Structure 1
Amino acid sequence: MTDRVSITVTDGVADVRLTRADKMNALDPAMFAGIAAAIADLRDRRDVRVAVLSGEGRAFCAGLDMASMAGGGSGLKLSERSHGESNLAQHVCTGWRELGMPVIAAIHGVAMGGGFQLLSGADIRIAHPDTRMAIRETYWGLVPDMGGFALWRGLGREDVLRELVYTSREFSGTEALSYGLVTHVDDAPYERAMGIAREIAGRNPHAVRAAKRIFNDLHDMDKAAILRAESAEQIALMGTPNQRESVAANMGRRAPAFVD
C-alpha cells in the first residue's frame, strides 16, 4: 500500500503489516502517514471482517524514530484535531479502535512508547512472551500522548498502569498478560492472531460490528444506555439474512455464507 504499511486481504482477513523492518518499524513522518492511510483504506471496506496488525522483521514497533523527530521536523501538530477528536499522532493508535471491524495486534520483539500505544488500539492483543515493552515517554521527560490514556480505560489495573507510566520501566509480554494489557501470550503470535481472525471472520460480520460498537461506547454510557444499545443492535440484527444464515449453518453443521 505504501513503503511503510502493506495490506493483503484473504477470505475477509486483512493482513496489515508495518514494513520498516530495517528501523524496527519505528514511527517517522512517513510511518505516521502510512498508518493513517491504512486506517482510511480499511474504514470503508466491506470485504474485510477482521484485521491483523503486525510488524515485519525483529520488532512490532520500537516507538518514535527520535532522529527523524529531532528539531521539530516531524510535522506533527499536537493541538490540531485533524482526525475527529484526535490529532494525527493519536489517530494512528485510536483509529484502529474506531474501525468497524475488530483489529488483532500480533506483537513480537519490541513494543516501546508509541509502539505500545499503537498495540493498545487493537481489540485483541497477542504477544510473544519475551516481547520487550515499555510505556517509555517519561524517560524522555514527556507523557504518553498518542491516545494511550483514552485506550487504557478499562484495560488492566490503573495502579499498575500508573506505575508503568511514572517509571517507564521495561516489562515482558508475559508480565503484560499478568497486568491485563495483552490478551494472550504465544510463541507464534502472528499465527495465533491469524487463527483468531479466521474464527471471527466466520461469524456474522454485522453482529461482530454491532458488538464492537457497544464495546467502544461501554465506558461512556450508564447502565440504562448500555441496555438500550443492546436492544437496539439486537432488533436491527434479528431476522436479517446473515442472522438467519448463522442459524441455518449451525443447524446444518456447515460453513456459513455471509453477505458483507
Structure 2
Amino acid sequence: MNDDELSGRLREAAEAHRPDRARMLARIERGMAGDRPAPRSVRPPRAVRPWLRVAGATAAVCGVLAAGAFAVTSAADDDRARGGQVASAPSATATAPHSPAAKAPGGLRPEDGPLWTGGVVDPHSNAYWAQSNVTLRTTEPLSALTVELRVAQTGGVNSTGSWRSLPEPDFTVSVDENGGFLVYRWTLRAGRTVPAGTHTFAGQYNHAEGDRDATDDSVTAHAVRASGGKAAVGDHFGRSR
C-alpha cells in the first residue's frame, strides 16, 4: 500500500467516527469532582486566659525581687568576708550605767547622786596600742574633782599620752606605775569648776602584741559639789583589744 492509499483510508476512518458527546462530558465532570480539594475549617487562634497573664507577670516580679535580694545579701557577705570595720571616733557620750551591784575599787558604784562614770576601751585600739576612755557625767557643777584611771600591767604597758575634754589649764595630770597598774590621775586645780554635763578623760598606752585583757582596768572619781556635799563613783572595764 502506497502513501496515497494510506492517507485516503485514514481520512475515511476519521469521517466515519462519531464521538459520544454525553459520555465525554460525564467523564470530564467526574474528573473535576475528584480533583477538587475538600474544604478545611480554620480554627481561630486561642485567646490567652487572663489568669495566665497575671500568673506570668507575678512570676516575673518575684524573679526580679529574688535577684535583688541575692545581690544585697552577697554584697553584705563580701563585706563580712573582708573583715571591714569602721571605727567610730572617741565620743563624750555616756554609756549606759552598769548594774548597781557592780562595784569598782573601794566598793564604789558607777552612780552616786549627781555623779556617774563609765569606762570603755576605744574602738580605734589595735593589737599594739590602746586608748581607755572614761566618761564622767554630772548634773551639778563640781568645785573639786579627781579622776583616776588604772590600767593593769598585762605586759608591755607603757604610757603614750593622755587628754581630757575639759580645758587643759584646769587640771594637773600625772602618770605613775603603782602595784602592777599604770595610773593616770587628773586633778581639778583650786578655784576651778567643772560644769554640769558629760566629760571625757582618756589614757593612751602601748601594750604587748595581741588582744589585751582589760578586765582588771578601772576608773574612780571623787568630787565635791559646788553646792556642798561629796560624791564618789567607780567602774570596771570589760575585755577588749
TM-score by length of 2: 0.20
TM-score by length of 1: 0.19
More strand by share: 2
